[in-house]
Structure 1
Amino acid sequence: MEMDGHLNKEFHQEVFLGKEMEEFDEDSEPRRNRRKLMAIFSKVDINRDKRISAKEMQRWIMEKTEEHFQEAVEENKMHFRAVDPDGDGHVSWDEYKIKFLASKGFNEKEVAEKIKNNEELKIDEETQEVLDNLKDRWYQADNPPADLLLNEEEFLSFLHPEHSRGMLKFMVKEIVRDLDQDGDKKLTLSEFISLPVGTVENQQAQDIDDDWVKDRKKEFEEVIDANHDGIVTMEELEEYMDPMNEYNALNEAKQMIAVADENQNHHLELEEILKYSEYFTGSKLMDYARNVHEEF
């Protein structure tokens, strides 16, 4: 799920393809993609019965999630060194801010000088909004809150909040804040299928996409609302969004199978995966959202 509460459309592809995801180009040769899907199918089909069960898919999803976490740890080491020029094992908000603005095309030395002298920076409104959001997440990663200095572990929480319980809680609060229209810190179905408060688009516009509403309704009722009382609490949303939750991985596996399970045997045969290949590899017809960690 994205920060705005919308489902991450790219998630199914990431948990099914793993590292191989980047190799699936929308414009690549269909035969090549077909071969790669066949190879992945054989990896998921542990018992070699030529079909994928929900348990096998669950195991695969958990494996890909753990794979992502290990990659995040290695990537974090590299990023941490880049923003910790003095090598003292801590990164200040100003150090990160300088590197961030430099990545956006600002002159690094000029920015560093102005920050050092406490001078005003001329930053466009959009970049400033991103910076403000990042600073909020920086505060959340600094645990316990102290002097806005992050060590390597805290910096990992900042870059990859999907692997941090504290950041997961913060993300849930942000989503509920944006979707909760009556301020009770819970979500009803109507709130969940609406767009965040304050967005230009409105629910009437969203209703045009019946499939979108239908998918979100099913997600709300069958997966997120654990006790099926018609209300999603912050605790339920947090549990749902935990990427290492085995129960949720199983639910996700069942949903992925249901999409392509034409013979209704609750398994996926290779022919079904190949027929619904766009669902598993991505489609140029869909506007995929960025992954959760990229949103931060």
Structure 2
Amino acid sequence: MIRALVVLLCFVLCVVYASSKPTEKKSRVHEEEPLSRLQHDDNKNYDYDHEAFLGQDEAKTFEHLPPEESKRRLGIIVNKMDRNKDGFISEEELKDWIKLAQKKHIYDSVEHQWKDFDLNGDGLISWEEYKNVTYGSYLEDPQTDTEYNYDQMMSRDERRFRVADINGDLMADKHEFSAFLHPEDHQHMKDIVVQETMEDIDKNGDGFIDLKEYIGDMYTSDGEEEEPEWVATERQQFSEFRDKNNDGKMDKEETLDWILPSDYDHAEAEAKHLMHEADANHDGKLTKTEILNKYETFVGSQVTDFGEALLRHDEF
């Protein structure tokens, strides 16, 4: 089975803005690995907060726990978060925990895929190994009449693999393979992130992203429905903030500032949000009681038939 789409989708990361907007909009703005691919809208649910606080995989586990078990496990997490053992969780400790959860998500992602690509078990993944696993069926029986241009996808993957391959031996260790799978999390990969983004959006191939291309990447009208209000806001955003030199288009530097903003820390923003939600006495720090009282914000809970099977977890 061709797996190129899985890897391709790993790059098209989407962290939506904190304010609620229609689901048809997609965003390419991200700071390192996204805290969650879900929309941040506490008026509907706390799913974004759960994934940001726990990590995406652990959040799924907590979804199926009864309330008392969720609180018990959350209490264990609170003890781990309190690094200085003063009985309080500071905003900095909360932010560090969120960052740790995301690093664990990336680590688990690499570990999960590693065994699929390291075919000879030598502790490295060569480009040939990756290519053969990802595109093997296509290489054995090339077909031109397909929905996807696999030659182009393979070329793009190889280019990214070579950039991730720091020592240039076309053999990726786990750090290099992590850079390949999660380029937004590695400084030396930022240029390739920008290049791939521009290739996706720059439909006329002039090396820039104009307003039409910018809007078209986030929203496509079917010609019948009324244009959502946020589209007008995005046009204004493009003119006032994206197109910094006011030439009607975004160059590479402006695109970098858009998709990998250096002045916004999503983990810090989420920590401030959770602090605001749970800090009942407004003293700028959280007690275990305050956190447990808001457990649904942090971890969520619902009882299911198979919830009991998830209670057995080594760290809990």
TM-score normalised by the chain length of structure 1: 0.56
Structure 2 residue matching 1:2: 3-state secondary structure: coil
Structure 1 residues 261 and 130 mapped into 2: Cα distance closer, same or farther (>3 Å)?
farther
Structure 1 residues 46 and 89 mapped into 2: Cα distance closer, same or farther (>3 Å)?
closer
1:2 to 13, 25, 48: 13
Cα pair 1:177 1:185 within 8 Å, conserved: no
- State the partner residue of 1:199: 220
- State the partner residue of 2:3: none
Residue 90 of structure 2 aligns with an amino acid whose one-letter code is: S
- State the partner residue of 1:21: 59
Cα pair 1:91 1:149 within 8 Å, conserved: no
Structure 2 residue matching 1:52: 3-state secondary structure: coil
- State the partner residue of 2:94: 57
- State the partner residue of 2:33: none
* Residue 69 of structure 1, CA deviation: 4.8
Residue 34 of structure 1 aligns with an amino acid whose one-letter code is: K
2:68 to 14, 28, 31: 31
Structure 2 residue matching 1:256: 3-state secondary structure: helix
- State the partner residue of 2:127: 91
CA distance in 2, matches of 1:195, 1:271: 47
- State the partner residue of 2:273: 255
- State the partner residue of 2:134: 100
CA distance in 2, matches of 1:86, 1:50: 46
CA distance in 2, matches of 1:62, 1:187: 34
Q: Deviations over 1:137-181 (max 9, x none)?
A: 442231389xx9842144432223243334344334555777899
Q: Deviations over 1:194-243 (max 9, x none)?
A: 672563579966548xxxx9xxx9xxx9xx9xxxxxx994454465479x
Could you say which structure has the higher helix fraction? 1
Structure 2 residue matching 1:140: 3-state secondary structure: helix
Residue 167 of structure 1 aligns with an amino acid whose one-letter code is: M
**Count of matched residue positions in the alignment of Structure 1 and Structure 2:** 244
TM-score normalised by the chain length of structure 2: 0.53
Structure 1 residues 39 and 88 mapped into 2: Cα distance closer, same or farther (>3 Å)?
closer
Cα pair 1:76 1:155 within 8 Å, conserved: no
Structure 1 residues 132 and 267 mapped into 2: Cα distance closer, same or farther (>3 Å)?
farther
Q: Deviations over 1:110-163 (max 9, x none)?
A: x3xx625xx5327752xx268855652442231389xx9842144432223243
Structure 1 residues 199 and 120 mapped into 2: Cα distance closer, same or farther (>3 Å)?
same
* Residue 81 of structure 1, CA deviation: 0.9
- State the partner residue of 1:143: 163
Residue 266 of structure 1 pairs with residue 266 of structure 2: no
CA distance in 1, matches of 2:301, 2:200: 29
2:139 to 109, 115, 119: 115
CA distance in 1, matches of 2:275, 2:222: 32
- State the partner residue of 1:105: none
Residue 286 of structure 2 aligns with an amino acid whose one-letter code is: L
- State the partner residue of 2:295: 277
Structure 1 residues 197 and 64 mapped into 2: Cα distance closer, same or farther (>3 Å)?
closer
Residue ranges of structure 2 left out of the alignment (5+ in a row): 1-11, 15-26, 31-36, 39-46, 243-249, 303-316
CA distance in 2, matches of 1:130, 1:256: 43
Structure 1 residues 198 and 151 mapped into 2: Cα distance closer, same or farther (>3 Å)?
farther
Residue 63 of structure 1 aligns with an amino acid whose one-letter code is: L
CA distance in 2, matches of 1:205, 1:283: 37
Structure 2 residue matching 1:143: 3-state secondary structure: helix
Residue 115 of structure 1 aligns with an amino acid whose one-letter code is: L
CA distance in 2, matches of 1:50, 1:86: 46
CA distance in 2, matches of 1:270, 1:66: 24
Residue ranges of structure 1 left out of the alignment (5+ in a row): 102-107, 225-230, 285-296
